[in-house]
Chain A
Amino acid sequence: MTNTLDHKPEIIKTSSSKSLMDYRANSLWRLTLRRILKQKSALIGMTLLGLLVLVAIFAPVIAPYDPIQVLIGTEKIKQREKPCIHLLGCPQDKPQHILGVDGNVRDEFSRVIFGSRVSLFIGFSTIGFAIIVGTLFGSISGYAGGLTDNIMMRFMDVLMAFPSLLLAITIVSFLGPGLQNALFAIAIINIPIYARVVRASVLSVKECDYVAASRALGASPIHILIQRILPNSLPPLIVRGSLGIAESIISAAALSFLGLGAQPPTPEWGSMLGSERNQVFTAPHLVFFPGIAIMITVLGFNLLGDGLRDAIDPRLAQRGAE
């Protein structure tokens, strides 16, 4: 009883000071950011990705070897040697290879480390391209409406009718294997997703009063689209983009695994896995570690995307109710 009485003034004090701060910080982005930071999965995702970005930036410092250097002649070491870590009792006179040595006698650890650069590049470039083109398609389609909208959306339906990896494989098979063509194919198969997201938000905002006001003031359609309408499609684009990067990294790894994407000696996780897949019974470490690297990266983007969606969704629901 006394306890509650003692604490009462304190509670009032903190809550009142908190609400004041809330009042000052009531910007949309601020509120969103706070909600994101409350999402456990977004935090874990951001931590994983932060680490990954650091690894990618400092790859030359972390990696003990050049990822494409063949170690024949420089060290006494055999093809596909098992991991050797000095701290875990590997004899000191043997050279240390934390994740072992691959089929071409290259340091697997250095290759996995440098692989993070390739995968991050793949994720951001493909989805970046898909978002830009998708936004263009989606906004034209949504803003123009009518026949243009109908034709463009039916075309997107057709692209989505293909199982995504299959379409990517087909495109690459006609363009020829290689990382660039694989990236292009993955970007293409992702365009419909973003076109639909942008079109939906253009349609919902197009009829709003503030857009009508802009038009009444004589703003050009391009100005209205860029300044008034598109900012509203940013939140869903960011959420979908984060999940999209995860999918894109897996697709690119799958293409490389099949030999259609990154070509040797590029240290790409999927192609590292693919080139050693027949050795899975004799040298499982060469399959295990690149796969774990892919999983951690994809997990990071997935968690971030989930967290962002949960953080942003309330606002979307609110807007829908209006």
Chain B
Amino acid sequence: MTQYIVRRIFLAIPVIFGILVVTFSLSRMIPGGPCRAILGEKATQAVCDRFIHEFGFDRPIYVQFGSYMVDVLKGNFGESIRYSRPVALILIERLPMTIELGTLATILATLIGIPAGIISAIRRNSAVDVITMVLANMGVSMPVFWLGLMLAYIFALLLKGTPLWLPPSGRLSAGMSLTPFYEAYGWGVEPESIKFYVLEFIANHYVLNSLLTANWVVLKDTLTHLILPTMALSTIPMAVIARMTRSSMLEVLGQDYIRTARAKGLRERLVILKHALRNALLPVVTIIGIELGVIFSGAVLTETIFGLAGVGRMLYEAITARDYPIVQAFTVVIAAGYVIMNLLVDITYGFIDPRIKLE
């Protein structure tokens, strides 16, 4: 198992290197060069010359790439143009929101998608199957930004005044605030230290932080705010997972060993859950890995619609404001995160299907 994991990690290294190359070259392809992009269209030639020299854009391209790599490995992503703050700090503030949203959406999509697919496969061609598959087909065809807006309209406006009302934007209600757990525990932390960054990163996961500080009011509030975005974001992956589970289950249920299992008098529940599902799960896990990319992409749109201060919305704002250090750093982090997620998916294969390790 260890050997398998190590091999997978080594396979991911060239991809991460490639990501760095791509983001680096994209940043050098800005029309008008980095100077005009950062200082504005009106910057004079003299100002630009000084800027280019100061930031080292006049060095050979391989030297620039080398220093870029070193900076990235050190976690030094430079300073945001718009906010004049270190990009790393902005990442620490924004990333937890997206992680919470993405995790909840993935969990919801899996928890509903897999059982829906199993039931559809067992009751093939029944009304339940037909309805599930019609819904799944609609689900994969819906634009996530449209679904988000419609959910906001239904739950925040039409259901106003009912107990089903849900807030359409933000992470917490007005007036709610949250003490970082390390302050609540009375840990003295020096600002700007690595420990501070790590603790702050953990504390910015509101769900986690309110659990750690046992602040149930805030926990309920932040979860309520997460319901609509999670629903919007999880619908497409849910539909894809349900379809994949169904077709994979149907294939497995036709195998000889399922007939054998039934013939030896095993209970149907056991046949489905132990013999069929475990074998049918491999393509489903693959598709969940692929859908993580869909969730990342969808997060940009979902956060924009629901006014959530996450990575996706920040990235979009940075792009429209031409805040290139942020664009570059966030792209690297998200792509690397996606690679790591897929690495984890690959490793799960080894647990689900012992045969894979031998390859």
Contacts and interface: CB of A to CB of B under 8 A. Distances in A.
Interface of A: 41, 154-155, 157-159, 161-166, 169-171, 173-176, 246, 250, 253-254, 257-260, 270, 273-274, 277, 280-281, 284, 287-288, 290-291, 294-296, 298-299, 302-303
Given A154-B14, A273-B145, 14 more contacts: A41-B137, A158-B21, A158-B22, A159-B22, A161-B16, A163-B294, A165-B297, A173-B322, A254-B145, A270-B143, A281-B153, A287-B150, A290-B146, A302-B141
Given A154-B14, A299-B141, A302-B141, A277 B305 contact: yes
A262 B26 CA distance: 22
A287 B293 contact: no
The B interface is mostly helix, strand or loop, or mixed, namely helix
B293 A163 contact: yes
B300 to A, nearest CB: 7
**Leading 3 A-B pairs by shortest Cβ distance:** A158-B18, A291-B146, A165-B297
Interface of B: 14-16, 18-19, 21-23, 26-27, 29-31, 137-138, 140-147, 149-150, 152-153, 156-157, 293-294, 296-298, 300-301, 304-305, 315-316, 319-320, 322, 327, 331, 334-335, 338-339
A157 B15 CA distance: 7
A111 to B, nearest CB: 16
A253 B143 contact: yes
Contact of B315 (A159, A169, A270, A287): A169
Contact of B150 (A162, A254, A291, A296): A291
Contacts of B335: 161-163, 166
Contacts of A291: 142-143, 146-147, 149-150
Contact of B141 (A155, A159, A298): A298
B82 to A, nearest CB: 14
Contacts of B141: 246, 295-296, 298-299, 302
Nearest to B152: A280
Contacts of A281: 153, 156-157
A298 B21 CA distance: 34
A298 B338 CA distance: 26
Interface centre among B23, B297, B339 (most CB of A within 10 A): B297
A258 B304 contact: yes
A254 B143 contact: yes
B26 A174 contact: yes
Q: Which of A159, A171, A174, A253 has the most CB of B within 10 A?
A: A174
Contacts of B156: 281
B331 A174 contact: no
A277 B19 contact: no
Contacts of B331: 162, 166, 170
Given A161-B19, A169-B316, A295 B149 contact: no
A174 B23 CA distance: 11
Contacts of A258: 300-301, 304, 316
A295 B19 contact: no
A83 to B, nearest CB: 16
Contact of B31 (A176, A288, A299): A176
Contacts of B145: 253-254, 257, 270, 273-274, 277
A139 B185 CA distance: 61
22 contacts: A41-B137, A161-B338, A164-B297, A165-B297, A166-B300, A166-B334, A170-B23, A170-B331, A173-B319, A175-B31, A254-B145, A258-B300, A270-B143, A273-B149, A280-B149, A281-B157, A287-B153, A288-B150, A290-B146, A291-B142, A295-B138, A303-B137
Contacts of A158: 15, 18-19, 21-22
B293 A164 contact: yes
A171 B26 contact: yes
Contacts of A296: 141
Contacts of A298: 141-143
Given A163-B293, A163-B294, A169-B315, A284 B153 contact: yes
Given A161-B339, A258-B304, A277-B305, A166 B146 contact: no
